[in-house]
Amino acid sequence: MADRILIRDLRLRCLIGIHPEERETAQELRIHLTLFTDIRKAAASDFIGDAVDYQKVTEHILDFTETSSRLLLETLIEDMARMILVNFSAVEALQLRVEKPAALPLARFAGIEIERSRADFGI
């Protein structure tokens, strides 16, 4: 079983949605991410170069969403999962959840959660 790196409640803004008013102003999204990797080499060396740098993962996610303009959360989450797995070769698989707090007035959020591996994208 792989080790896990956790990033929880990453808050960012993104143009997302099918309604005209959603296309005018970036909306808040919350990201929850679990990265499956083997941390033993980094633990033994105590060297960041041997680790999955979660600061860099976060920067990639922020850059990706700031330049993103998707209609559907389904498209955004699938593209985000692919981007992470392509850019971070030590990540074997991931669980990714994207929450859209403003989607439903009577709910805390609407969201999607997926699990993807490198094999899912032919990587």
Q: What is the pLDDT of residues 100-123, one digit of tens each?
A: 998 778 888 899 999 999 999 999
Q: How many domains does the chain have?
A: 1
C-alpha separations of 104 from 29, 69, 100, 109, 114 in Å: 13, 20, 8, 6, 20
- Whether residue 76 is contained in a domain is answered as yes
- Whether residue 119 is contained in a domain is answered as no
Overall pTM > 0.85: yes
Range of the domain at 33: 3-100
Which candidate, 32, 27, 34, places its Cα nearest to that of 10?
Answer: 32
**Percent of the chain whose pLDDT exceeds 70:** 99
For residue 17, count other CB atoms closer than 10 A to its CB.
20
Q: At 76, which CATH number?
A: 3.30.1130.10
pLDDT digits (tens, 9 = 90+) for 14-27: 998 888 887 888 89
- Whether residue 121 is contained in a domain is answered as no
pLDDT digits (tens, 9 = 90+) for 42-69: 999 999 999 999 999 999 999 999 888 8
